[in-house]
Amino acid sequence: MSRELKTISIGMLGCGVVGSQVARLLQSDQEELSKRSGAELVLKKIGVRTAGAREGIPAALLTTDLMSVVNDPEINIVIEVLGGIEPARELILAAIANKKSVITANKALLATHGHELFNAADAAGVDLYYEAAVAGAIPIIRSMRESLAGDQITRVMGIVNGTTNYILTKMHEEGRNFADVLAEAQKLGYAEADPTADIEGHDAAAKAALLASLAFHSTVTIDEVYYEGISNISADDIAAAKVMNSVIKLLAIAELTVKDEISVRVHPVMLPVTHPLASVRDAFNAVYVESEAAGQLMFYGRGAGGAPTASAILGDLVAVTRHRAYSTVGYGESDYADLDIAPLGDVKSQFLIRLWVADKSGVLASIATVFAKQGVSIQGVRQSGMGLDAELIVVTHAATEDDLDATVEALKAMDIVKNVESVIRVEGVGA
């Protein structure tokens, strides 16, 4: 027995790489998407910042009056792919106030104003979905939001920025330096003309905030995420990783501490080649989840680009349309736990310290004494000589960030230490 399908009208904000792909798929796959959604989907209006034709997009759909999209009484669902904080925030709030469900890919906005937006959506009784905001086509948001809702997640580690993963992959596999690979990534379109948000970790930090919020049922903003980028990773660091049968990856990490606080951070990490995340190459993303009941889970796929991001948006659209068709809403955000953020100085990690020292007797003993005085235990040491100096690679057992920082400062003050070249956190080799 068939039923008459409701008509669900869709408005879009933005028509760039992602938005244009979504619009084209909505038109070409309208019949199939409507069958899956349980309602007839109609793309009614697209708000753009600047006038002008868009390839494959009927001109009649386009308007530069962005507010007209969210105020149109016939539009039921708004897809926001403008990016940035404003006017995206104002427009989404207006859409929600007008009882429209919203789908967004705007990680920066959600990592900054997510609490406000989710509360507004909950009060209005509408959906706010955002699968495309983290890791592109990888279904990590819905998996954590729904499939793992009955479990206790203890840790999330993710390669969530394709640009940095591409750069680190090429440095490791081809022995090239950072600047050279970055220039190549820009030519290929993997990196922006201004790559700062990617290579300095800001993009990954926004995604880390969203993952931490989901995993631990607390509101985490980007301002609470500690982050470092990869611009200081050298060819020598890559070589040191190879010696240890490891790779360097930029990871977003969110975990519960022994004090039941949330540690959330983004920084380069040295991983053994046997770790599942170590094999994630080029511009691909992956998220590794640890939970009490399910154990270890790995989510892998394309994390950026018009088509993968459009796939995530359309998946949200089908889900939200089903809710609209049956006058219901989906899963809202869960922030009941309201856990505190752990101070970075209290967080424990293993570390690799690479330093140049005078190549003479008694140096190792003096170095070990400095570590011992700061309460940092040494797991292993590698030494290679070069003329009058030697390179030491020291791997510690788990130590706090504060104790490690104090150790590094003490090392720098020693006459026998020529330079502390790098400090990189280590995961997965045993504490």
Query: From CA 99, how far away is CA 45, in angstroms rounded?
Result: 17
Tokens of 169: 């992959």
DSSP-derived secondary structure letter, 48 = -
Burial class (CB in 10 A: 0-12, 13-18, 19+), 198: buried
Cβ–Cβ < 8 Å for 427, 270:
yes
- Which residue is catalytic, options 45, 107, 170, 207? 207
What is the 3-state composition of the chain as percent helix, strand, coil, each rounded to the nearest 5? 40, 30, 30
Query: From CA 230, how far away is CA 307, in angstroms rounded?
Result: 27
Give me the count of residues in the chain. Answer: 431
Query: From CA 379, how far away is CA 270, in angstroms rounded?
Result: 15
Cβ–Cβ < 8 Å for 383, 360:
no
Query: From CA 299, how far away is CA 153, in angstroms rounded?
Result: 15
Between the two ends of the chain, the Cα-to-Cα distance in Å is: 62
Task: Say whether 107 is catalytic.
Answer: no
Among candidate residues 244, 242, 245, 280, the one with its CA nearest the CA of residue 164 = 280
Residues labelled as active-site residues: 207
